[in-house]
Structure 1
């Protein structure tokens, strides 16, 4: 039994493409869930999903102009995502509409524009690659690019972590401390866009937000402390990525959906059985009444 389990985990690593895919999964799992936890604390979880679609026009235009050049496609996606954030913020300021509501309208337009541009290239296969990703196709330059970009995002979060958390919970207090809360909000949204752009090569623009939001949602049910939430979210993302990738190899399943479905299964289990889930709260009520 132990030998079989060991073979199940180690045999795929005989292939270089599986080692690169596993390294990419681990890299993304250390970055995206941290951003996801901060998104959920801000009540902007749907913003991450909207932005994952909003980067599509930039990726599409870069592909149309320069072909399949991952650095240029990532820069194009970053530019499109930041432009969408800026426009949504301007609409919110001028009209009083909530920023997430403005984003919901913009991402539909952005996604339609991106699909239209990709269609003009005449290759539906390339459109599928951009929409759904291909983690098994990650080569060494792509892995290095993902690693460097993820390191920059994590380093920025680490340096500005305290201010980002305070701006999330009480932006007025941050302003009273002599720091402009709006700048840190803009920085955080830029980090969200950057994290999604990093993940589009492996999971595609349609599922890049999955590894960001699902582990963070799981962590919300198991911990009330920020440090605990981040640790749990990263752990869930790592488990879903590694097991999903290996399961896809052994069972012949697509890698990206396997990873996201495992993370989704973790969310369903947490929703039911976690201390802050449905069953956990129901079991806690009788004890609370007995104590009172």
Structure 2
């Protein structure tokens, strides 16, 4: 439980800020697609070395980057849009990954890869997730302004700064790294949940990017802590409990938030009518 809590803290500091930028860039579903895309690489690493942290990590990173690069090349050289090419490659990648694991491993292995085992995190996995979180925070601190400009007006950034491609592709690399880190704790199907749900919920509580980062990270950590407690006392699967807790926070934020919620719009309408 202690290791799982530390892993949730590391994910909330590394993966959730990436989720904030994904939501600001309207790329939330891109994160979901990339989470599925890492599956065949992790599966190949599993076939070669079993449940080896290093092999599955390297395989997942390679598969995620390959899908991101291939979808970008197709989008830039054909009539296909980037979202369509990404969807095509991630579906192919997901099918290959499930096929590899299901034909070469057991149902337990498939469930481990797809849904993760946050309560089984060892010291090496925690070091990996914490290292990814540290690298992410340092990179975001260095490229914070270019990333903000990429969210607001990527065309303007390309015209005034040579950092535009660095910010764009560097951000994709950070996304893949954090999805791979989350994969070891929550599996490929749920690692994106701790990244997107708190970030989406924070949009109802703040408009400033700094506050979005703070609120979403705190919400992600609280979701991890509460989800682990619920899984312990109610004998629930820990990964789904964490993601459902984050989902509950999103629903509460949707109902009670102070910016752009149905309640705030209703109050504004009544004010104008009065």
TM-score relative to the length of structure 2: 0.96
1:98-113 correspondence to structure 2 within 5 Å: 98-113=81-96
Other-structure match for 2:109? 126
Q: Which residue of 2 aligns with 1:178?
A: 161
Instruction: For 1:165 and 1:267, locate their aligned partners in 2 and report how far apart those are by CA, in whole Å.
Output: 23
1:93-126 residue CA offsets vs partner (Å, 9 max, x unmatched) = 1124332222112111110000111123232211
Alignment map for 1:13-92 (pairs within 5 Å): 18-92=1-75
Q: Work out the CA distance in 2 between the residues paired with 1:124 and 1:50.
A: 23
Partner of 1:280: 264
Q: Of 212, 226, 229, which aligns to 1:246?
A: 229
The answer to whether the Cα contact below 8 Å between 1:44 and 1:100 also exists between their aligned partners in 2 is: no
Is the partner of 1:68 in helix, strand or coil? coil
CA-CA distance at 1:288 after TM superposition: 4.1
CA RMSD of superposed structures (Å): 1.3
| Alignment pair present for 1:142 and 2:125 | yes
> Please, which runs of 5 or more residues in structure 1 have no aligned partner?
1-17
Aligned mates of 1:35, 1:289 — CA distance in 2: 40
Q: Counterpart in 2 of 1:9?
A: none
Q: For residues 169-208 of structure 1, what are the structure 2 equivalents within 5 Å?
A: 169-208=152-191
Q: For residue 2 of structure 2, give the secondary structure of its aligned residue in structure 1.
A: helix
The 3-state SS of whatever aligns with 2:105 is coil
In 1, the alpha carbon distance for the partners of 2:161 and 2:196 equals 32
User: What secondary structure, in the 3-state scheme, does the structure 2 residue paired with 1:221 have?
Assistant: coil
Residue 197 of structure 2 is matched in structure 1 by 214
Q: CA deviation at 1:176?
A: 2.8
- Asked if 1:234 is matched to 2:217, the reply is yes
Shift of 1:26: 0.8
Deviation at 1:285, TM superposition (A): 2.1
2:80 pairs, out of 85, 90, 97, with 97
Return 5+ residue gaps in structure 2 as ranges.
none
Per-residue deviation, 1:289 = 4.8
Displacement of 1:183 in angstroms is 2.9
Shift of 1:178: 3.2
TM-score of the aligned structures, taking structure 1 as reference length: 0.90
Given that residues 101 and 110 in structure 2 are in contact (C-alpha distance below 8 angstroms), is that contact kept between their aligned partners in structure 1? Answer: yes
Deviates more, 1:148-157 or 1:244-253: 148-157
Q: What is the match of residue 8 of structure 1?
A: none
Q: Which residue of 1 aligns with 2:207?
A: 224
Give the C-alpha shift of residue 173 in structure 1: 2.3
- Candidates 133, 150, 153, aligned match of 2:136: 153
